[in-house]
Structure 1
């Protein structure tokens, strides 16, 4: 069957290292859309971090969808109505916040309204993430977080230190949550019920599509679930070696408009 839905990661995949959309990628997305193919952004970013990109790619029309928070939120891109929303409980937040203090790692929690941290000295990677995704940052004590609707939590630090600390996280946390790195300095913690793969499966079912009609394009570990879910997984040339082992196709790098190459070579061809 021909491919009818293409889920595309943003950072390191659709965007260049300067976080730009190349002309080649823009044109390929428009051509796919004209051919009736759903191009769905699937990112770990919060919804605030993709709104301008959706507008730039003209993916805000009726029938367009977007996956954010690593699958925690699926929205109709035209109406902004939630199609799927998976959240962490307050008890989850307290457990993870305590773990972050034990590990000595800066942490922030993401909601549709913004990012919340209990770190008085706000970590530089929290600031970096806030600027990247155009999100406000709020300082709140753990006691003040009881009524917030948390979609994901991130622990952030220097790559070598973060990798060292990840080894100290008890297995019980990996059993209870979806935990993955989306960048060398980002560790993302989401509900077990939320993943890019599950979001794509739900959306495919919702649209009446089968998995052999789906493709996913990614580069990092937080893309693994969607690459495993679809029958046409594509990994960027700049993707991790482990992900490349599971790819059906390997496309060019994000610097070389690899998303455009994949769409033209394996979707529109």
Structure 2
């Protein structure tokens, strides 16, 4: 029996209208009633998931959420932080200098705000703030506290330009940080030990849940680590090819209630797995 399901949000839980359908809500509630732990696992900041947790009724004493691509693991009932792995102000300075060398805009987070050092605020920074309902603030780096804890930094640009930037990043940087593409126009940069897969593993071990008892459902490159970790990795029909290749099985798209279809097949129909 599977005991934990980790579910990505954008392109997975939400359809293209940014809605959670009733079919998906019903399937998640049915799985929860069977004792399965449902964990939202997203690149979004914690403030960007409050409404989703409310819609899915995932604020009980046994509910947890993974945000910032695994940099923050939190109890949704008490808001107790289980794990927080952040970048420092020194990392921020280094990554800002890299962004200048590569001529790519960047922005960064603390736990409650989105910041940009760019006077000409990029449209994708505005989009990120709007999508997550998070305050956006302009900050020059010399105005940033030395004690800031940064879950993630993001390089942002038009998809074609960002793809070129990724190729230009020296390998030495890829050894110092985790770089993961979460959208065609977003490259996320995290502490080297941070990934969705590591965060799901941490929660599973906290509850003595075996790897083979874990399902992870996702679509993007930032979901790859948890798809590879899971006993059953499920790729959406709209997933990136690399995710589909790593997955145990494929479900329907995010516009076809793919999450509900996977839960019905693996949990509600009590399919035996080996």
Give TM-score, length-normalised by structure 1. Answer: 0.98
Structure 2: distance between partners of 1:24 and 1:173: 43
Gaps of 5+ in 2: 270-274
**1:12 equivalenced with 2:11 (yes/no):** yes
Give runs of aligned pairs for residues 217-256 of structure 1, distance below 5 A: 217-256=217-256
Q: Deviations over 1:168-199 (max 9, x none)?
A: 11111111111111010000001011110010
The residue matched to 1:180 in structure 2 has which SS? Answer: strand
Structure 1: distance between partners of 2:197 and 2:247: 15
The equivalent residue for 2:79 is: 80
Deviation at 1:202, TM superposition (A): 0.5
The equivalent residue for 2:103 is: 104
The residue matched to 2:226 in structure 1 has which SS? Answer: helix
Contact 2:2 2:213 in 1 (8 A): yes
| Structure 1 range deviating more: 240-249 or 123-132 | 240-249
Deviation at 1:147, TM superposition (A): 2.7
The equivalent residue for 1:43 is: 42
Deviation at 1:92, TM superposition (A): 0.9
Structure 2: distance between partners of 1:64 and 1:49: 17
Gaps of 5+ in 1: none
The residue matched to 1:109 in structure 2 has which SS? Answer: strand
The equivalent residue for 2:169 is: 169
The residue matched to 1:256 in structure 2 has which SS? Answer: coil
The residue matched to 1:203 in structure 2 has which SS? Answer: helix
The residue matched to 1:130 in structure 2 has which SS? Answer: helix
The residue matched to 1:121 in structure 2 has which SS? Answer: coil
Structure 1: distance between partners of 2:129 and 2:147: 21
Give runs of aligned pairs for residues 195-214 of structure 1, distance below 5 A: 195-214=195-214
Structure 2: distance between partners of 1:36 and 1:133: 30
Aligned pairs, number: 268
CA RMSD of aligned residues (A): 0.7
